[in-house]
Structure 1
Amino acid sequence: MKSAVLARVVGEAPLFNPRYVDFARHWGFEISACNVGQGHEKGRVENGVGYVKKNFLNGLELLDFSAVNPAAELWLASIANVRIHGETHQRPVDLFKDEQAKLQSLNPMPYDIARIQSQRASKQFRVALEGNHYSVPAELASQRVTLKAYPDRVCIYHQNKLVARHVRSYDRRQDIEDPEHPKELLAQRRNAREQRLLVQFLSLSRHASAYLEGIEQRRVNSRHHLRKIVALSEIYGADAVDRAIQDGIAFAAYSSEYVANILEMRAREIPAAGALHLTRRQDLLEIEIAAPDLSLYEGHGHAH
């Protein structure tokens, strides 16, 4: 099978699957390939497989794949290892005591069975696997990352550093996002907005910097006041806000409410009316109204 032998040419050594070679080296065993179509060369192995199929798996009902190993351990302890073996005429559990001292120690590290692939994260800081999308930290958008897919999890690396870990999904068209991943992007956007706001405010007056310092010393949420004052400048004009800021500094009144009040008051200021001089008779508005002509109604004694 291709998972073990990629090619076999008569007279030449078999070409083994490199992943299988890696697996063998990890667990410390050597690979010995049978000749093509010569199943009898591994008869003893096949007999063992048949025994497991007939005596353990046959008729076994399991609700979940994770129950296979516990069931197998119980079967080994209660049946397979305590029976009298047909060829050795001894119990495997007894023979194992003699063999155990001659066996090498297993590698303490589990074998990495992950499927590895390299891909570039999308602009939405996502990587794709089998129809699903998994997030990476926002700062890695459009960066090349290495994805390792395990049966139960998906691990994503950037420059050999683990940057994301997700529970693997076997559904389709799912978007799996770590809530921490967009935070850096949101912080950057917020900082950019604050920078723009600060520039807009400081451009309103040469006294704006001093007024900002007063706001920050006296107010909890200085951004709220800056946003409101910038908005007021769009309504009343930069010159009016400049004057209000100077008045605020003079009276130590540092808030958007003060600026709004003073702008509104000044907008209401109406110049005092001057004296009215009337020099001509018709300017006195003396309007003469002609006497009404009542002859129209004469002879109509009854009104309807």
Structure 2
Amino acid sequence: MTISKEQEAQILRYHHVEKWRVGTIAHQLGIHHNTVNRVLSQAGLPKAVRSQRPSMIDPYLPFLTDTLSRYPTLTASRLYQMVRERGYPGGPDHFRHQLACYRPRPRPEAFLRLRTLPGEQSQVDWGHFGKLTIGRAEHALMAFVMVLSYSRRIFLRFFLGAQMANFLRGHEAAFTAWNGLSKVLLYDNLKSAVLERRGDAIRFHPTLLDFAAHYRFEPRPVAVARGNEKGRVERAIRYVRDHFWPARQWRDLDDLNAQAEAWCNGWAMDRPCPEERSLSVRQVFAQEPLLALPENPYPTDERVEVHIGKTPYARFERNDYSVPHTHVRCTLTVSASPGAVRILDGGQEIAHHVRSYDKGQQIERPEHIEALVQLKRQARRHSGQDRLAQATPASRTLLSQAAERGDNLGTITATLLRLLEDYGAAELEAAINESLAQGVPHPNGVRIALQRRREARNQPPPLGIRLNDERARQLVVSPHDLSGYDQLQAIDTETDGAAEAMYDDQ
């Protein structure tokens, strides 16, 4: 326990002036008696000997010390079961407290300060910096950190997740920023680097091995439980947390990475180099030789095979991206960069979208949807025309002449299909022929011909009127002779004239 200088002065005054005992001082100041003993020992006073009271564990101490000497890692719960079987009457909490005083302590290990040659080694690790919400999706905000072990130059780049593609993109961005790379890259036992480890036998991730072969560096993992071997990158992450991250304001991920790049090239480069305190990191880095970069960068785009169902969309990262309708029921390849999603059919690109980091979104290109809509319209129109031509062959001539006039064939087809349902194939065929004979290749001429033929036969209106009463369906409405209305109008005119004459006479 750490206490202030004022408390240390109080402990010494209470002990020398007030002559208080250790337990009294600890009780009054609310601290542990071991802290009081430590302060008194540092002042040159002998440690106060506290009276030891008999404990329930005393009869079992020979058994416990012997067992712990042979099995030093045996858990307290297992030892408690063993002493309970031998008659120990105490509870588990008291037993654990007493056992801690007798458990053998491992001898502390001393570590040598590791030094590396210029350009020899870099250390790589991820740092977790909370979560970032984009729309309805929540992403882990991960910081990729690489540090040169000699000059201690830091590279920092933030990503949404620690996937292998982001891991490789972080490497390439660091190599580009430094215009080179070290001979050895040291990794913790990350899943992105080490797939399996059995003692000294290591199975690296095949993608990382291919990446290392491309840039000609040696990937090397640290030993198990040897965090001191990668202390430089851990201190670099701590340095980022203490000097870059606090009170940082940023709009989006691009803005955050722009600020991180400026910080790495400015403040972090001008700090004193731990290896040479008289020089800055910038000055030491200028003297550090690095391996040259190859001409072509390593492809870091994510590639995923997707199966397109009956709807023209490819599912990638909880979002749907549109594809041409000609590629439904096919297996395609999604190639994704941080800003774009490309959908490939073999080596041919069939769709290109802006990448979305939201979830549950449909990202569409207007031409994909419009092509599908036109296809459906044409399919419906051709289906109706085929049905109409099969029932009334004369409709082909009418549609052909209507097309020459520039009329809308879809509307004409739909109207003729309704007339076909109302009047039947025979009547519609005859009406179409009559309308064509009069030079009217239009549904209005066909409708007039159908009405004239129905009235001539004194037939009821077609069932297409959809009357609910059966008697109304059978009702025949004949047009009334309007000549009587003309006679009434003539009589009304004569009457009005006579009334006007009488009014003038008066």
TM (normalized to structure 2)?
0.45
Please list the CA deviations of residues 16-38 of structure 1 after superposition, one character each: whole Å capped at 9, or x if unmatched: 12233344345553212232223
Task: Tell me, yes or no, if the aligned pair for 2:402 and 2:441 is still in contact at 8 Å.
Answer: yes
Alignment of 1:285-300 (within 5 A): none
Please tell me the residue identity of whatever aligns with 1:138: H
The answer (yes or no) to whether the contact 1:120–1:142 under 8 Å persists in 2 is yes
RMSD value, Cα: 3.3
Alignment partner, residue 18 of structure 1: 206
CA shift, 1:131, in A, is 4.7
On the 8 A contact 1:120/1:127 being kept in 2, the answer is: yes
- Name the residue aligned to 2:389: 202
Structure-1 residue corresponding to 2:222? 34
Alignment partners' CA distance in 1, 2:393 and 2:260: 82
Q: Amino acid of the residue matched to residue 258 of structure 2?
A: P
Is the deviation greater in 185-194 or in 252-261?
Answer: 185-194
Equivalent residue for 1:119, pick from 301, 306, 327: 306
In the alignment, what sits opposite 1:144?
331
Partner of 1:9: 198
Which of 264, 282, 291 pairs up with 2:451?
264
Q: What is the CA–CA distance in structure 1 between the aligned matches of 2:324 and 2:193, rounded to whole Å?
A: 38
Verify: 1:105 aligned to 2:293, yes or no: yes
Identify the match of residue 248 of structure 1 among 435, 449, 460: 435
Q: How many equivalent residue pairs?
A: 266
Question: In the alignment, what sits opposite 2:375?
Answer: 188
Q: Is the 8 A contact 2:435 2:449 kept in 1?
A: no
Q: CA contact under 8 A between 2:338 and 2:355: conserved in structure 1?
A: no
Question: Take 1:226 and 1:91, find their aligned partners in 2: how far apart are those partners?
Answer: 83
User: Which residue number in structure 1 is paired with residue 98 of structure 2?
Assistant: none
TM-aligned CA deviation for residue 2 of structure 1: 2.0
Over residues 140-198 of structure 1, what are the superposed CA-to-partner deviations in whole Å (9 max), with x where a residue is unaligned? Answer: 33322334555555443333433342532434x44444443333333332222222222
Q: Is the 8 A contact 1:26 1:111 kept in 2?
A: no
Partners of 1:85 and 1:219 lie apart in 2 by 81
Partner of 1:32, secondary structure, is strand
Distance 1:204 1:66, change over 3 A: closer
Task: Choose from 230, 239, 257 the match for 1:69.
Answer: 257
> Counterpart of 1:261 in structure 2: which amino acid?
I
Q: Distance in 2 between matches of 1:199 and 1:84?
A: 84
Query: Aligned partners of 2:255 and 2:410: how far apart in 1?
Result: 58
Q: Is the partner of 2:378 in helix, strand or coil?
A: helix
Closer, same or farther in 2 for the Cα pair 1:123/1:195, shift >3 Å? Answer: same
Distance 1:98 1:167 in 2: 41
SS in 1 for 2:441: coil
Relative to structure 1, the CA distance from residue 205 to residue 133 in structure 2 (aligned partners, 3 Å threshold; closer, same or farther) is closer
For residues 29 and 264 of structure 1, what CA distance do their matches in structure 2 show? 89
Equivalent residues of 2:336, 2:342 under 8 A apart: yes
Residues 153 and 39 of structure 1, relative CA distance in 2, 3 Å threshold: same
Report the residue type matching 1:257 in the other structure. N
Is the contact made by 2:211 and 2:298 (CA closer than 8 Å) also made in structure 1? no
Q: For the residues of structure 1 that align with 2:366 and 2:410, how far apart are their CA atoms? A: 26
Shift of 1:266: 1.9
The separation in 2 between residues aligned to 1:161 and 1:80, in whole angstroms, is 45
Any idea what SS the aligned residue of 2:221 has?
A: coil
| Counterpart-to-counterpart distance in 1, 2:298 and 2:247 | 28
Q: In the aligned structure 1, how far is the partner of 2:266 from the partner of 2:242?
A: 16
Percent sequence identity is 27
Q: Distance in 2 between matches of 1:35 and 1:76?
A: 29
Deviation at 1:207, TM superposition (A): 4.0
Q: Does 1:218 align with 2:218?
A: no
Any unmatched runs of 5+ in structure 1? 272-304
Question: CA–CA distance in 2 between the matches of 1:234 and 1:73?
Answer: 73
Question: 1:246 Cα deviation (Å)?
Answer: 2.7
Which one-letter code corresponds to 1:190 in the other structure?
A: R
- 1:91 is aligned to 280
Q: Distance in 1 between matches of 2:358 and 2:314?
A: 15
Letter in 2 for 1:40: N
Measure how far apart 1:261 and its partner are.
1.0
In structure 2, the CA distance between the partners of 1:91 and 1:202, relative to structure 1 (3 Å rule), is: same
Question: Match of 2:198, SS?
Answer: coil
Q: Is the 8 A contact 1:84 1:90 kept in 2?
A: yes
In structure 2, distance between residues paired with 1:107 and 1:23: 14
Q: Do the aligned partners of residues 229 and 41 (structure 1) sit closer, same or farther apart at CA in structure 2, a change above 3 Å counting? A: closer
Residues 38/248 of structure 1: CA separation in 2 closer, same or farther (3 Å cut): same
1:58-117 alpha-carbon deviations (Å, 9 max, x no partner): x342344434433333334443323442423323333444446x5413666475253x43
SS in 2 for 1:31: strand
Matched, 1:79 2:279: no
CA distance in 1, matches of 2:392, 2:313: 45
- The yes-or-no answer on 1:231 pairing with 2:445 is no
2:398, 2:436 within 8 Å by CA — same for their partners in 1?
A: yes
Other structure's SS at 2:220 match = coil
Looking at structure 1, the residues matched to 304 and 249 of structure 2 have their Cα atoms a distance apart, in angstroms, of 33
